[in-house]
Amino acid sequence: PGSRNLHWGEKSPPYGVPGPSTPLEGPAEEPFPGGSSGGGVPGQSTEQLNRFAGFGIGLASLFTENVLAHPCIVLRRQCQVNYHARHYHLTPFTVINIMYSFNKTQGPRALWKGMGSTFIVQGVTLGAEGIISEFTPLPREISHKWNPKQIGEHLLLKSLTYMVAMPFYSASLIETVQSEIIRDNTGILECVKEGIGRVIGLGVPHSKRLLPLLSLIFPTVLHGVLHYIISSIIQKFVLLILKRKTYSSHLAESTSPVQSMLDAYFPELIANFAASLCSDVILYPLETVLHRLHIQGTRTIIDNTDLGYEVLPINTQYEGMRDCINTIRQEEGVLGFYKGFGAVIIQYTLHAAVLQITKIIYSTLLQNSA
């Protein structure tokens, strides 16, 4: 967002010189609807503000998803794997209380542990997808003229990517749920070391209850592919509704330049927000099962999410995905699949608040520069 796309053969106009216009394409110096016509100093300053604002909006969204929401992810995962827990933390009020207890007894690091490994997993995922798509005919993007074969090949690429990233995801999960009380000061590349060790069977000794990676492929790929499909469908659906709403408002009445520029940036952010929220909520039970299977047999010690202090070992003995589902339903009830769901509510409430604050700041900057 914020960059100006040039057409073939078109050159960027010098500072203060109006860009040429052609009968087919219209004025080239008006990259945004409702923007200033003419290439004088006001137009240049507005374009620079647009580029800066676009970068700032994207940065704020990334910061919220990966940094500000990380304590919620940590607590949510700890609650999911804690089969001992009597308090399920289904509401944000109990989640905030237990977060305060962890911060008081262990310090702020207890809520931001494993954040570096989550970035490593994202990097491994993107790198694996790019490499696989380069050396195979599997498409990384789906064209507008798609067909079932192209969709199947694209989903196969996603499945292979999740398989490659799976051992590193497992190592990252351990880092985020391991209690800070007994945790060593591990380096940022410990996730890579543990992931490779999990593949070749070396590294930290595990118990006999550790499930082999082959047993984890199906639930991991199933969760990843379903998450991708649900989020993609909802994202396109919400984006279509917002664009139609914006188009109707443009036809009904003249829209201010400020609103026009807001319409250029925020529909995609809102669509991404809605897609992530819906896919996380729909797949939360499956994510609980997946995390319990990944953590089993790794000798991980987690925090007691009932008290806010003390530690608990993970001693589950699930034979596989089906056994895990049946055991949770019988011993913990249906709500056992939603342990820690209050953290999801806090996470997306924070995300929505940051989007709204960013929108207010951006509107104020545009109005002051107009």
Contact 112, 59 (CB under 8 A): no
Contact 198, 167 (CB under 8 A): yes
Lowest mean pLDDT among 9-18, 132-141, 313-322: 9-18
Q: pLDDT confidence of 203, banded at 50, 70, 90? A: low
The pLDDT score that the predictor gives to residue 223 is 97
The pLDDT score that the predictor gives to residue 237 is 94
Averaged pLDDT, 86-100: 93
Averaged pLDDT, 208-213: 89
The pLDDT score that the predictor gives to residue 258 is 58
> Which amino acid, residue 19?
G
The answer, yes or no, to whether residue 40 has pLDDT greater than 50, is: no
The pLDDT score that the predictor gives to residue 50 is 63
The pLDDT score that the predictor gives to residue 172 is 93
Question: Would you list the domain boundaries of the chain?
Answer: 49-369
Which is higher by pLDDT, 49 or 229? 229
Class (C level, CATH) for 49-369: mainly alpha
From CA 140, how far away is CA 155, in angstroms rounded?
Answer: 9
The pLDDT score that the predictor gives to residue 89 is 94
The pLDDT score that the predictor gives to residue 14 is 47
CB crowding 235-252: b at 16 or more within 10 Å, else e = beebbeebeeebeeeeee
From CA 224, how far away is CA 220, in angstroms rounded?
Answer: 6
Please provide the average confidence, as pLDDT, over all residues in the chain: 82
Sign, CA dihedral 355-359-360-365, equals: positive
Task: Convert the pLDDT of each residue in 257-298 to its tens digit.
Answer: 556 666 667 888 899 999 999 999 999 999 999 999 999 998
The answer, yes or no, to whether residue 133 has pLDDT greater than 80, is: yes
First to last CA, the chain: 20
The answer, yes or no, to whether residue 151 has pLDDT greater than 90, is: yes
Averaged pLDDT, 183-188: 70
With a pLDDT cut of 90, the percent of the chain lying above it is: 49
The pLDDT score that the predictor gives to residue 35 is 42
The pLDDT score that the predictor gives to residue 51 is 66
Averaged pLDDT, 186-196: 83
From CA 209, how far away is CA 188, in angstroms rounded?
Answer: 27
The answer, yes or no, to whether residue 247 has pLDDT greater than 80, is: no
From CA 207, how far away is CA 301, in angstroms rounded?
Answer: 13
The answer, yes or no, to whether residue 300 has pLDDT greater than 80, is: yes
Alpha carbon distances (Å) from 196 to 171, 204, 205, 214: 9, 11, 14, 15
Averaged pLDDT, 203-231: 90
Element (H, E) at 317: none
Averaged pLDDT, 13-23: 44
Lowest mean pLDDT among 181-190, 204-213, 347-356: 181-190
Within a 13 Å sphere around the CA of 48, how many CA atoms are in the beta-carbon half?
A: 10
The pLDDT score that the predictor gives to residue 253 is 57
In sequence order, what are the beta bridge partners of 302? 312
> Look-up: residue for tokens 């047999």?
297
Q: Quick count: other Cβ atoms within 10 Å of Cβ 154?
A: 18
DSSP character string of 131-154: HHHHHSS--SS--SS--HHHHHHH
Which is higher by pLDDT, 143 or 283? 283
The answer, yes or no, to whether residue 176 has pLDDT greater than 90, is: yes
The pLDDT score that the predictor gives to residue 65 is 79
The pLDDT score that the predictor gives to residue 30 is 40
Tokens of 127: 């790198």
> Which range in 30-34, 193-197, 262-266 is most confidently predicted, on average pLDDT?
193-197
